Structure 1
């Protein structure tokens, strides 16, 4: 039997909670109806299940059920939010967008596409803290600013962005506010009850299956947001996300959110305890922590070890722990992290950031001292 490899890449994805898997399997094999089928009980049960899930999930944002759209994940949600506002921006002459240079590629690349269509995008660099200043965002507001898009929690550093402050300060302006909450949903629940217009979420960051997520699109008083669909055919989800609803995945997402809500306090405490254990053990090595540690989630830690190549370290550690250099969408690339580069880190540190991220119940076999010893040994060899 092979060595047990501890999973420390939860920011990329989490294991589906076994309790969630049971729910998904039930809705795949027993109550397997199409929620759009109106002529029999199978379809009726599926429709009721989706309605109940939508109501619960919307409540986690303090939103109404009809403000929540089911999608395949945060990438699709981001695209609907950003590209769906494009026609309104073009018609109203508001072609200016503010974002940060540390956003996930699922935000950066749609915005780069909008640049090719004549939109002007300000990419704010956060500095060494990795935290965008709300003042820096507000200073760039213009009469033609259509949208501000700032992530909730950075996926590489775990640094929490000031989305609550931004929501409050933007609410009396005509500018829409979008938040990519892929990493923050469930972990900092109160933040997402702020008056944010558009919120994107992926289920697989909290123990739900891959392939399901949400877009919250809050009403503006009596008016809906001026979103236009980017896909067509079927009219489901207010016409913004056509296609047969993946009932098993939606039910799994709701179950994962319920579990995470119920176990949130224990999860947070355990995640913070592991962070302390890791840092205590690694004290015998030479490293820098990337990002403002006064504004950070407990389960993501980004480190640059002095004199150590991150890719070589990952190879050394691969039989012990599963870690990554950054976003799973770009971790195959050997280029320096665009997040750490935008923060202004020295080139060597930006090229060698190592992200450790965890769900506490998946790390019971982690030997933090052995991990530290391997790093220390590598630093000794490179000295």
Structure 2
């Protein structure tokens, strides 16, 4: 019997936990519940073994040493650790300039704002009207005193892929640290994240069919040396001293398995998402939609940012609420709705910003009744 709820089209906000992952998580919550820090008995040893396996699984997907995988509560914490954790080093070395973009997630922009309050200078590169930033503009903004370059891999609202490989190629080997927020691309565009010039990578479990509340920061060594990060919290030696606290072993194991599955099934999942996107574009074509993100320069196959001329996003979401669950921006800012800073940075007109909705799906999303959606929106526009 079909689920009576609307079809879920908000996978950029969160994904369902893969049943295979959920089974492992529940087993470790209920049956093998040891503390990975307890080294005096088999329960603790078993828990530590699960953490080691997860670290190994994630390391393999990104081509890094397992010890370069630092577990966190999610990409937001990873972003904060990557940015704020370098501040003391930047101050000591008189490198108090940071380059980023105007379309970053708030998990990057708000730590940058805090550093600005503390005397750092931040240069935010703006995107073009399609939502893509220029690698040349990012590299041109780098100075001798630049500490960090932070550029997201794909925008969470438009799905527009950013030129992280070109940026990485253009940075000097001993130049600024490079951080990539990969919350939307890990498990989807993972090969690009293996670029060895990328120093820091933020990933999140619940965006890749893993559990909520867990993520990781990849901290690549330079020349065999650890990066000069300082922890945001203190109180224990876990995660190489960068993230104290008892390991959430079930969540970490779940992330590790989700990572392995995403890599094994990556191409098949991408093909399914691409077919869905093509069907969506074909179905919506009679409405003359405005699509954000340039396909030729790269967009994620599972995100569609679209404005229907003449319609407000709130009206669209209300009209479609019995059919599909969609959003009009980042889930992390929806509690205090305000116009999208991403679309505003793209220089779009106000009516287009107000009319934009985001549809995002996965390889498991069922067939959508596009005919009913188009009919509903056509009637709404009359």
- Please give the TM-score of this superposition, normalised by the length of structure 1: 0.97
> Contact 1:3/1:320 (CA < 8 Å) preserved in 2?
no
Residue in structure 1 matched with residue 57 of structure 2 by the alignment: 56
Residue in structure 2 matched with residue 321 of structure 1 by the alignment: 324
Residue 255 of structure 1 and its aligned partner are, at CA, apart by: 1.2
Residue 246 of structure 1 and its aligned partner are, at CA, apart by: 0.5
Residue in structure 2 matched with residue 177 of structure 1 by the alignment: 178
Residue in structure 2 matched with residue 207 of structure 1 by the alignment: 209
> Contact 1:337/1:353 (CA < 8 Å) preserved in 2?
no
Name the CA distance, whole Å, in 1 between partners of 2:169 and 2:187. 21
User: Which has the higher mean CA deviation after the structures are superposed, 166-175 or 314-323?
Assistant: 166-175
Structural mapping, 1:32-71, within 5 Å: 32-71=33-72
> Contact 2:57/2:257 (CA < 8 Å) preserved in 1?
no
Secondary structure of the corresponding residue to residue 78 of structure 1: helix
Matched, 1:240 2:267: no
> Contact 1:208/1:252 (CA < 8 Å) preserved in 2?
yes
Secondary structure of the corresponding residue to residue 236 of structure 2: coil
Secondary structure of the corresponding residue to residue 333 of structure 2: coil
Secondary structure of the corresponding residue to residue 379 of structure 2: helix
Q: Which runs of 5+ in 1 are unaligned?
A: none
- Please give the TM-score of this superposition, normalised by the length of structure 2: 0.97
Residue from 268, 271, 286 that aligns with 1:269:
271
Secondary structure of the corresponding residue to residue 106 of structure 1: helix
Q: How many residues align?
A: 379
Residue in structure 2 matched with residue 9 of structure 1 by the alignment: 10
Residue 91 of structure 1 and its aligned partner are, at CA, apart by: 0.5
Q: Which runs of 5+ in 2 are unaligned?
A: none
Residue in structure 2 matched with residue 364 of structure 1 by the alignment: 366
Residue in structure 2 matched with residue 151 of structure 1 by the alignment: 152
Name the CA distance, whole Å, in 1 between partners of 2:171 and 2:62. 18
> Contact 1:97/1:120 (CA < 8 Å) preserved in 2?
yes
Residue 129 of structure 1 and its aligned partner are, at CA, apart by: 2.1
Residue in structure 2 matched with residue 97 of structure 1 by the alignment: 98
Instruction: Provide closer, same or farther for how the CA distance between residues 271 and 354 of structure 1 changes in structure 2, counting only shifts above 3 A.
Output: same
Residue 193 of structure 1 and its aligned partner are, at CA, apart by: 0.2
Residue from 308, 312, 327 that aligns with 1:309:
312
After superposition, what is the alpha-carbon deviation per residue over 1:14-70, rounded to whole angstroms, capped at 9, x for unaligned? 011111110001111111111100011010011111111101211111111111100
> Contact 1:335/1:351 (CA < 8 Å) preserved in 2?
no
Residue from 286, 291, 294 that aligns with 1:292:
294
Residue in structure 2 matched with residue 188 of structure 1 by the alignment: 189
Name the CA distance, whole Å, in 2 between partners of 1:71 and 1:141. 29
Residue from 351, 372, 375 that aligns with 1:373:
375
Secondary structure of the corresponding residue to residue 62 of structure 2: coil
Name the CA distance, whole Å, in 2 between partners of 1:261 and 1:144. 37
> Contact 1:61/1:192 (CA < 8 Å) preserved in 2?
yes
Residue in structure 1 matched with residue 76 of structure 2 by the alignment: 75
> Contact 1:203/1:212 (CA < 8 Å) preserved in 2?
yes
Residue in structure 2 matched with residue 111 of structure 1 by the alignment: 112
Residue 228 of structure 1 and its aligned partner are, at CA, apart by: 0.6
Secondary structure of the corresponding residue to residue 306 of structure 1: coil
Residue from 228, 231, 237 that aligns with 2:230:
228
Secondary structure of the corresponding residue to residue 331 of structure 2: coil
Instruction: Provide closer, same or farther for how the CA distance between residues 221 and 2 of structure 1 changes in structure 2, counting only shifts above 3 A.
Output: closer
Name the CA distance, whole Å, in 1 between partners of 2:367 and 2:37. 45
